[in-house]
A and B are shown apart, each in its own frame.
Chain A
Amino acid sequence: MSRLIQPEIEKIKNQTGELGTLIEENLQRAIKALLANDPDLAREVISFDREEIDRREIALEEECLRIMALYHPVAGDLRFLVTVLKVNGDLERIGDLAAKIADKVLLISQIDTEVYDTAGMMLPARFLAMQEKTVTMLRQTLEAFHHEDTDLAYKVCLTDDEVDRDKRAIREELEETIAQNPAQHIYLAKLIGVARSLERIADHCTNICEDVIYMAQGRIVRHRLI
């Protein structure tokens, strides 16, 4: 082969890194919009996801397919490209979920605050912990991917259970609050939606980490207890 595949792989790596960065930042903006109840920021998040992230996802996928067609990569390179294709899909879903959170922020901002007591609009403390955990998970996932750090990937997979527990606890707590004070259900239902989105982001992170383990070790750890 006259041309070298390594520079192309390197390019893909950078492109994936950039996409990950944008998605992470978008998620953090979405959470910030939720905490600050900032509908403008939320709108920004949604449009950024539609315009920039989706476009980049498609570009990255095409680039991967192009390299596969042109170079017929084998072994590590092939595993890397296949992993990027999968990770790309997961990342894009994470981006969509961030947009979904922003969407919920828009809906919450449209609720007539006069009807509800402002004190009730406080986010439960557990919620903060959960979103923090999710963002950390995403950060660590991207780091594990970039540095091919399987230890970190395994660790992230284990954190997923915590996020699941948090989500369950939040749902139960909010449902209880709704039972006590049904007037707030519109608002709280949205919060449950946000919690679900966060939990699913964590799931996608787990998927990516499993792919990272596959990429580094060539071992498929999906559908298995780690």
Chain B
Amino acid sequence: MAYGKRRLLWQLYPALLLVTLAALLAVSWLAGTSVRNFHVEQVESDLAARAQLLKGKIVDLLAPGPDDPAPAAALPYSHSPAQLAVLQAYSRQAGTASATRLTVVAPDGLVLADSEQTPAEMENHAYRPEIIAALAGGTGRDVRFSSSVYYDTMYVAIPLEQEGQVIGVLRTAIPLTAVDEALAAIYHRIALSSLVIALLVAVTAWFIARRLSRPLEEMKAGAERFAAGEFAGRIAESGAEETAALARAMNRMAAQLDQRLRTIDRQRNQLQTVFCSMVDGVITVDGAERVVEINQAAADLLAVEPDRIKDKNIRVAIRNSALQDLIRQVLERGEPVEGELTLLDGKGGEHFCQAHGARLAELNEQGPGAVLVITDVTRLRRLENLRRDFVANVSHELKTPITSIEGFAETLLDGALDEPEEARRFAGIILQQSRRLHAIVEDLLTLSRIEQEGRRQGVPLQELPLLETLQAAVQACSRRAADRGMALELRGPAKLRAWINPALLEQALINLVDNAVKYAPAGSPVIIEAEETATEILIRVSDRGPGIPAAALPRIFERFYRVDKARSARLGGTGLGLAIVKHIVQVHHGRVRVASTVGQGSTFTIHLPKTAAGPLPSLNQNLTEG
């Protein structure tokens, strides 16, 4: 119950008390009135009876004796003092005996005798209503305040008749004190019982209030539980029909709320999971450009900590002006926008991203916000570049020897044939260029063959001694190495076995060693090492050549990529050697790495897994893996 409001008990009690007391008062008033009326009637008839009893004696005393000379008819009849004294004495005696005031009044209103006062001192009673009624022949009665006894008094008067002539009036009177005293006692008792009843009513009201409010209190506790989110308990559906219905309704409401909240919770969890596990970055901001949500992908892309930038302004939180501009555009225009972003990850790496922004209706009190989805298209972009470069490179690589062949063949036809010396030289060049063309096509075919075999059923691998294959590769390169005065050093445990395709691996090694022989300065050694680690078998080819600049390192396994175009062409490279190495290593489920320091040499390392198992990497993606 809210503070400042009265408890139910205090609302019930006054009303109950009022009604009870009103009923009690009405009853006692009614009872009092009827008792009083009854009593007054009783007194009246009592007085009349007493008057009738005394009447004979008084008439006797009042009537003129036979010795009285005055004619009876003479009026006003005057009584002799002796007669009056007798009458007075009798009145006193009778009045005392009957506890009634007796007054005898002459027809002219003169008081002849009175049981309590001296008649001579009393005023004329002719105009008293009871006397008038009695003189008229009936029984007169009246209740009024008596100045002599200071109390409400009932007077009953009857005529005194003698031979059909009214000779006086006898009045009996009694004060109504007794009645009133009796009534007062009754009222006193009624007041006492009212107090008791008030107490009873209080107790009853308290019980009723308790009965009414207990289910309400229970419901209050239940509702508070519901408000706090505890839907497990139910409210007891007890008490009166109304409270029980209310409890039922509340229980139903709680059940529905529970269900809805669960649904909302589940949906939120699902959305949160989707949001968090999305590969694309998602950022939502509110109308004041504050970050509301950011998923892990976006945080990674933007190199920020999600917890740290929440609720911060986007301009402070995410330091990328293009992204800030996009969000501003969405917020200002309210229509979807699209843009490209270049994100720098602080390590010199660049991510090309596409961003789509849209308005979020009524995100919070700041008005509509914006949502930005960032897709990292770096790989796609690189793939695109690679394909474009590949086509351009193939055409270029094929065109150079063809142009050369074409040119010299034309020169021959134009007359150089006649000069055997020249013709011989030209034919030599044509042959050399044809061989180059052949080598390129051969390499391209090798590449596509490896790729296709790898894609279709995998290249068959056997567990063979590794050193034999290495030896074969070294053998193949030894002549060229010897020409340049270079020593090929082969090191490695003889027992080492690996899952390999000997022909392919030999080809890869030949390519690597051949590169080393070609590029390293004459006379420097080339070291081929095999080594076994806990999980892998490593084959290392190190040279003391010029090294590869860091910027070129990620690209050297691309087809036709050359660090130094002029030098490579001069040395007869096709630009495909390392691409072939990479593909061969991939069909062996391995990987190839290169480490190089400019001016000090390069080391190529082939990592082969120890077991033949493992899924083949999808060769479709090879072009994108640098």
- Does B546 contact A119, Cβ atoms closer than 8 Å? yes
CB distance from B346 to the nearest CB of A (A): 6
Which residues of chain A come closer than 8 Å to B346, judged between CB atoms?
135-136, 139
A128 CA / B549 CA spacing, docked (Å) = 12
Which residues of chain A come closer than 8 Å to B313, judged between CB atoms?
10, 13-14, 17
CB distance from B299 to the nearest CB of A (A): 14
Q: Among the listed stretches B16-24, B318-326, B478-486, B568-576, which one makes contact with chain A, having 4 or more residues with CB under 8 Å of it?
A: B318-326
| Residues 135-178 (chain A) with a chain B CB within 8 angstroms | 135-136, 139, 142, 146-147
Q: Indicate the member of B313, B315, B317, B598 with the most A CB atoms within 10 Å.
A: B315
Q: Indicate the member of A13, A21, A128 with the most B CB atoms within 10 Å.
A: A21
Indicate if A35 sits at the interface (CB-CB under 8 A): yes
Which residues of chain B come closer than 8 Å to A10, judged between CB atoms?
313
Out of A132, A136, A139, which one reaches B319, CB within 8 Å? A139
Out of B317, B347, B551, which one reaches A146, CB within 8 Å? B317
Indicate if A57 sits at the interface (CB-CB under 8 A): no
Chain B contributes a number of interface residues (CB within 8 A of A) equal to 22
- Does A14 contact B550, Cβ atoms closer than 8 Å? no
A21 CA / B341 CA spacing, docked (Å) = 14
Indicate if B308 sits at the interface (CB-CB under 8 A): yes
Q: Indicate the member of B289, B346, B598, B599 with the most A CB atoms within 10 Å.
A: B346
Out of A28, A35, A139, A146, which one reaches B316, CB within 8 Å? A146
Indicate if B348 sits at the interface (CB-CB under 8 A): yes
Closest-by-CB residue of B relative to A24 is: B319
Q: Do most interface residues of chain B lie in helix, strand or loop, or is the interface mixed?
A: loop
- Does A21 contact B319, Cβ atoms closer than 8 Å? yes
- Does B315 contact A21, Cβ atoms closer than 8 Å? yes
| Residues 19-68 (chain A) with a chain B CB within 8 angstroms | 20-22, 24-25, 28, 35
The 0/1 profile, CB within 8 Å of B marked 1, for residues 66-87 of chain A is: 0000000000000000000000
A136 CA / B347 CA spacing, docked (Å) = 8
- Does B550 contact A25, Cβ atoms closer than 8 Å? no
Which residues of chain B come closer than 8 Å to A125, judged between CB atoms?
550, 597-598
| Residues 314-361 (chain B) with a chain A CB within 8 angstroms | 315-317, 319-321, 324, 344, 346-348
- Does A25 contact B321, Cβ atoms closer than 8 Å? yes
Indicate if A18 sits at the interface (CB-CB under 8 A): yes
Indicate if A226 sits at the interface (CB-CB under 8 A): no
A14 CA / B327 CA spacing, docked (Å) = 14
Indicate if B312 sits at the interface (CB-CB under 8 A): yes
A147 CA / B312 CA spacing, docked (Å) = 9
- Does B550 contact A132, Cβ atoms closer than 8 Å? no
| Residues 283-297 (chain B) with a chain A CB within 8 angstroms | 289
- Does B319 contact A147, Cβ atoms closer than 8 Å? no
Closest-by-CB residue of B relative to A35 is: B551
Contact (A20, B344) CB under 8 Å given A10-B313, A14-B313, A119-B546:
no
- Does A14 contact B321, Cβ atoms closer than 8 Å? no
CB distance from B143 to the nearest CB of A (A): 85
Contact (A21, B312) CB under 8 Å given A28-B344, A119-B598, A125-B550:
no
A101 CA / B550 CA spacing, docked (Å) = 21
Which residues of chain B come closer than 8 Å to A132, judged between CB atoms?
347-348
CB distance from B188 to the nearest CB of A (A): 74
Q: Indicate the member of B549, B597, B599 with the most A CB atoms within 10 Å.
A: B549
CB distance from A184 to the nearest CB of B (A): 14
CB distance from B596 to the nearest CB of A (A): 11
A146 CA / B597 CA spacing, docked (Å) = 39
Known contacts A21-B315, A122-B549, then 11 further A-B pairs from the complex at CB < 8 Å, ordered by chain A residue? A13-B313, A14-B315, A16-B316, A17-B319, A21-B319, A25-B319, A28-B344, A125-B550, A142-B319, A146-B312, A147-B312
Which 3 A-B residue pairs are closest in the complex by CB-CB distance?
A17-B316, A21-B319, A17-B315
Residues of A within 8 A of B (CB): 10, 13-18, 20-22, 24-25, 28, 35, 119, 122, 125, 128, 132, 135-136, 139, 142, 146-147
Query: Could you show 24 A-B contacts with beta carbons less than 8 Å apart?
Result: A10-B313, A13-B313, A14-B289, A14-B313, A14-B316, A17-B313, A17-B316, A18-B315, A18-B324, A21-B319, A21-B321, A21-B324, A22-B321, A119-B598, A119-B599, A122-B549, A125-B550, A132-B348, A135-B346, A139-B346, A142-B319, A146-B316, A146-B317, A147-B312
